[in-house]
A and B are shown apart, each in its own frame.
Chain A
Amino acid sequence: MSLEARLVVERAAFTLDLALDVRAGEVVALLGPNGAGKTTALRALAGLTRLSGGHVTLRGRPLHTLPAESRPIGMVFQDYLLFPHLSALDNVAFGLRCQGMSKTDARAAAAGLLERVGLAARAGARPRQLSGGQAQRVALARALAVRPELLLLDEPLAALDAHTRLEIRSQLRRHLADFDGVTVLVTHDPLDAMVLADRLIVIEHGAVVQQGAPAEVARRPRTDYVARLVGLNLYRGVAGGGRVEVGELLLHTSEPATDGAAFVAFPPAAVALYRTRPDGSPRNLWQARIGGIERHGDNVRVHLDGPVTAFADITPAALADLDLTPGQRIWASVKATETHAYPA
């Protein structure tokens, strides 16, 4: 393990208590809602926020006893914090100058880094003359310039518009793949986390609620927050005899769940809606009331109240056929093959 840390920071609203083990070359994303403590954790790693307890060890060396300027870190801030009075080149050269490199050498090295992020032509520009995407790349180059062992990224794509974000995300992924140190990034965007990270750590109220590979987290969410992020209906129930009891509902699942407390998850698109009780009585059928209807991408998302609250995604054509209105009572069913159960 290259980074090994336990971060305890007391805040008025919550206490952050987080254990981290990250290998060199690995990218870990801290994912969580606003105010969950993600940025606090990152600042604690950087030495910008004092730990109330715990430790930070990088390659066997304690970091938590060092001030921020002595830690072998590079940090990219949410709004980049490029020094407004310095050119892009001098921003990137700043850290090297602090390490005692001569102005000429630092600028030459910085020019090389700017070239790597594709901004050689903008070396002389001041930060306010850069576009959002360019500023993001300068910020990354500035953080990488000091050859950090620990790279910290705070919402690195949050300040970008959708189009730029797409492009910068894939570039950032490439740079992170090239980086051989430990990377910890903070985001509230599940897509950023899935694309950029090898492992997700989901934090709510200062504590880890779930962690694992992105695919694993996406398939088997363990909290409502994660389920919403990855777009699944999630229920907690009790498994027995190959079925899971959720409230008054008995759900058949694709694989038999082990007896005991269990989660059941299914995608909104797996839910079928009927005006009248369907013939042949499929499994996993229940009567629901329509709570609301909204546009969702190319489809329509129907909010269902009833024995369980659920989202159902149907096509606009289906919506027209069914002639649905809020408050109406309808039948809903979900295929067992698309319903997954796993131990809680």
Chain B
Amino acid sequence: MVPAVLGLVFLVLPLVGLLVRAPWSTLPARLTEPQVLEALRLSLITATVATVLCLSLGVPLAWLLARVEFPGRRVVRALVTVPLVLPPVVGGVALLLVLGRRGLVGEWLEAGFGITLPFTTAGVVVAEAFVAMPFLVISVEGALRAADRRFEEAAATLGASRWTVFRRVTLPMVMPGVVAGAVLCWARALGEFGATITFAGNFPGTTRTMPLAVYLALETDPEAAIVLSLVLLAVSVVILASLRDRWVSAP
């Protein structure tokens, strides 16, 4: 009993501290400061774009893992989950090595298309997507595995092509899983710090997202850091509440 209470206190106390120390009187003014709004806007945009990127690449990948038998599928599935356990900073370094100006692909991107990713807003999106995509893939793959494939067979007997089956039967049926995965993915992207600061840097207006702003403010203006943290906390709580039925509450 006592360790359980200690565990709960350990998890909850920091959040309480955040609420207790929040400068409630100056909060409205703080929240509307240009730097805060700028960081918030950048965070929301990059996290959303990263989620869209994850959806467009992650859903097909999840389908491949769930539905197509191919050699080395288990290895691929393991690889997909690597960014989940990889320290985000390491992910950022890895992205620099591949997509940096001297990187394997980055060099070719710059020479061929004039595209530079590191230290740009696009770079933030790439870093966030890299870290957040496994959440989406795992969620969607789980939903696809749980879906009754005989509905797809029924669609086939009605003359539906593979693509039609996917679009009109499979996707609508796994939609709860896709939504849950996308929300988790978005939340993870919103909170991304390590890979972002390593790969995209910390430039106000272009790459300084909320978590970066929190870290920076802690050195100069702790109150601002608390305000920014409160915003991120609020977002987390909202997401938790919206996914409550699906993920958080155990059966």
Binding site for B on A (CB under 8 A): 46-48, 67-71, 73-75, 77, 81, 83-85, 94-95, 97-99, 142-143, 146, 152
A249→B182 CA distance, assembly (Å)? 76
Closest A residue, CB atoms, query B158? A95
Q: Do residues B157 and A83 form an inter-chain contact, with CB atoms below 8 A? A: no
Q: Do residues B156 and A83 form an inter-chain contact, with CB atoms below 8 A? A: no
A70→B159 CA distance, assembly (Å)? 6
Add 20 more A-B contacts to A70-B159, A83-B168 (CB < 8 A). Answer: A48-B157, A68-B157, A69-B158, A69-B160, A69-B161, A74-B157, A74-B158, A75-B157, A77-B154, A81-B148, A81-B150, A81-B151, A81-B154, A83-B172, A84-B173, A85-B172, A85-B175, A95-B159, A98-B159, A142-B158
Closest CB-CB distance, A49 to chain B, in whole Å? 10
A73→B160 CA distance, assembly (Å)? 12
A85→B151 CA distance, assembly (Å)? 11
Residue numbers in A under 8 Å from B148 (CB-CB): 81
Residue numbers in A under 8 Å from B161 (CB-CB): 69, 98
Q: Do residues A85 and B159 form an inter-chain contact, with CB atoms below 8 A? A: no
Q: Do residues B164 and A68 form an inter-chain contact, with CB atoms below 8 A? A: no
Closest CB-CB distance, B132 to chain A, in whole Å? 27
Q: Please count the residue pairs between chain A and chain B whose beta carbons lie under 8 angstroms apart in the complex.
A: 63
A231→B12 CA distance, assembly (Å)? 71
A68→B156 CA distance, assembly (Å)? 6
Please name 21 pairs of A and B residues whose Cβ atoms are closer than 8 Å in the assembled complex, sorted by A. A47-B156, A47-B157, A48-B157, A67-B156, A69-B162, A71-B157, A73-B157, A75-B154, A75-B157, A81-B148, A81-B150, A83-B151, A83-B154, A83-B172, A83-B173, A84-B173, A94-B155, A95-B158, A98-B158, A143-B158, A152-B157
Q: Do residues A69 and B173 form an inter-chain contact, with CB atoms below 8 A? A: no
Known: A83-B169, A85-B172. A94 touches B158 (CB 8 A): yes
Q: Do residues B155 and A46 form an inter-chain contact, with CB atoms below 8 A? A: no
> Which of B154, B157, B168, B169: most chain A CB closer than 10 A?
B157
Q: Do residues B159 and A48 form an inter-chain contact, with CB atoms below 8 A? A: no
